[in-house]
Amino acid sequence: MENQRLILFVALSVVILLLYSSWQEQYGPKPPTPSQSVQSPEEPTPAGISSPAAPIAPGETPDVALSQPATTPAVAGAQAINSQQSIRVRTDLFDVVIDTMGGDIRQVALLQYPEHADTPEKPVQLFNDSLPRLLIAQSGLLSSSGQSFDHRLVFATEATDYELAGGADSLEVTLTYQDPSGISVKKTYTFHRDRYVINMNMQVINASEQDWSGRLYRQFQSTQASEGQTFIYTYTGGVVSTPKTRYEKVNFDDMADWKPEESFSQGGWAAMIQHYFLGAWIPEQDQFNNFYTKVVGGTRYILGLQTGETKVPAGETGVFTSQLYVGPKEHARLVDVAPNLELTVDYGFLTILAEPLFWLLTKIHGLVGNWGFAIIFVTLIIKLVFYKLSESAYRSMANLRKFQPKIQALRERYGNDRQKMSQAMMDIYKKEKINPLGGCLPMLVQIPVFIALYWVLLESVELRQADFILWIDDLSSKDPYYVLPVIMGVSMWVQQKLNPAPMDPVQQKVLMALPFVFTAFFAFFPSGLVLYWVVNNILSIAQQWYITRKIEAQTAKT
């Protein structure tokens, strides 16, 4: 009885917390919609790329604290045209639009990931230069004493359409700029087959008579747009990783005044993430960078990093390199790209439990080839691991159920005298050697594991649009016919019938209502999560029924 109330209280608390977090994300205060006053000349939009209905001007040149004294020179044309010529790049994974202004990566469509399961021809548009879901990648060179080559620079290009050839493993897109001073800049993007990493290389060819010094910056510009499913909250915003802080979230609301713990850090990365996908600027891991954030106009958010100054002597060439990851939060890919990048698959404080569970889930999927069945087998394995602990809890419940008639008789005898009633019940527990709280600890031990599995199922892009059986064709979306939530509610009701009923009539009514309340909640949860709860409930019912019947049989013999 005590166990049941504790378990239901914890479960209900978790659901309420998730609902509150989601409500804050969905309906909480949001910044005003960005201004659309800046217009650009209309350009023909290639098929498969969303039309830039309301492009906006790039943000201001980064203005951040540096490791050495430097000033940010005024850039002519701060309100310049926000878009020039579009360059389209197609590979096996990407459909990309690069703008000759700054060489910005303005649009990225992920061809292997449809926006919706029923529209496979429409890929996820992760980067976009139109409102309200702006997200673009920018890079450039700043100089404290000479000419800067930032993201307002207009490059020249030899072609406006590139495609990865059938037998090629990589594709280079080169943009060039010739400054009147004699310095030329060449920006090259290298795309690779079956890789979501884009290599970015900037060359400064100093044919002038003066030395040139500058620093490379890379940044994301984004608007704050809600993302995710109803009743499900997942983090959307900035993340920074340094050797001192492996994974630090930088919320949009904090970007106006956020400062890193270390002004200059070696390695690391800066990313903008959402539920299943991310963009991350990744420097050379032996390179020192300054991380920074900025808010432009109260509606556009900038997160980036920049190097210290590097001198390019007259007559020589300087090379600045970086990597850009644009793609899904696939654990295996992220591990190979940069240290700690896999932490963007955010399991929260239970990562130490969630990672082994994800490993187990992927191994089973490799055997059965179906994520739904993999969830079922993982749930079964967890139940087997905790069988003895669960058995202790269910034995406690079964013993309480056995003495329910005696407890009811005591209630009738003492009426509303709670003190005498409690004393009489304690005497029965002592005489029969029953610990009314004996099953609480085993249940509490299991709760972190179940919550960790919950986050594994919620965060794993591998389950996105994953087919199961029959009508369940997307484990990351709600059950379209609400069959699984109804089964889950029925299983909760059956579990209640196997447990001793509370003495308090009010508690009885609350417990009777819980299956209906949880059914309504879970109707909007991803079907993969509901499947996990259904299987867990059914296995719990089977175990509890077996133990209860076993104890009843032993009692009948005595």
Q: pLDDT, tens digit, for every residue of 368-392?
A: 999 999 999 998 998 888 777 777 6
Residue 422's pLDDT is 72
The CATH architecture one would assign to domain 55-346 is Distorted Sandwich (2.70)
Contacts of 541 (CB under 8 A, 6+ apart): 491, 494, 495, 498
How far apart, in whole angstroms, are the C-alpha atoms of residue 186 and residue 123? 31
Nearest to 366 by CA among 354, 378, 381, 353: 378
Residue 555's pLDDT is 61
Residue 415's pLDDT is 66
Would you call the peptide bond into 132 cis, given omega within 30 degrees of 0 as the criterion? yes
Contacts of 228 (CB under 8 A, 6+ apart): 22, 25, 26, 234, 236, 274, 275
Q: Is 157 exposed, middle or buried (0-12, 13-18, 19+ CB in 10 A)?
A: middle
Residue 265's pLDDT is 87
Residue 451's pLDDT is 84
Nearest to 204 by CA among 188, 218, 189, 190: 188
* Cα within 13 Å of Cα(334), Cβ side: 23
Amino acid at 327: G
The answer to whether 527 touches 477, Cβ cutoff 8 Å, is yes
Residues in the chain: 558
Residue 100's pLDDT is 94
Residue 479's pLDDT is 85
List the domain boundaries for the chain.
2-18+355-557, 55-346
Residue 71's pLDDT is 33
How far apart, in whole angstroms, are the C-alpha atoms of residue 54 and residue 35? 9
- Phi, psi of 503, rounded to the nearest 5 degrees: -75, -35
Residue numbers in the chain where pLDDT is lower than 70 = 1-82, 226-232, 392-408, 410-412, 414-417, 428-443, 445, 499-508, 551-558
Stated pTM of the model? 0.77
Sheet of strand 237-241, all strands in order from the earlier edge strand to the far edge? 156-157, 170-178, 183-192, 197-206, 317-328, 277-282, 269-273, 237-241, 248-250
The answer to whether 55 touches 86, Cβ cutoff 8 Å, is no
Nearest to 466 by CA among 476, 453, 479, 478: 476
For 254-394, strand residue ranges (E) read 265-266, 269-273, 277-282, 288-296, 300-307, 310-312, 317-328
Residue 514's pLDDT is 79
The two beta strands, 265-266 and 288-296, are antiparallel
Residue that has been written with the tokens 């972190």 in this structure: 448
Nearest to 138 by CA among 27, 196, 56, 41: 56
How far apart, in whole angstroms, are the C-alpha atoms of residue 110 and residue 90? 10
Q: Is 73 exposed, middle or buried (0-12, 13-18, 19+ CB in 10 A)?
A: middle
Residue 25's pLDDT is 41
- How far from chain centre, in Å, is Cα 246? 16
How far apart, in whole angstroms, are the C-alpha atoms of residue 107 and residue 126? 7
The answer to whether 317 touches 205, Cβ cutoff 8 Å, is yes
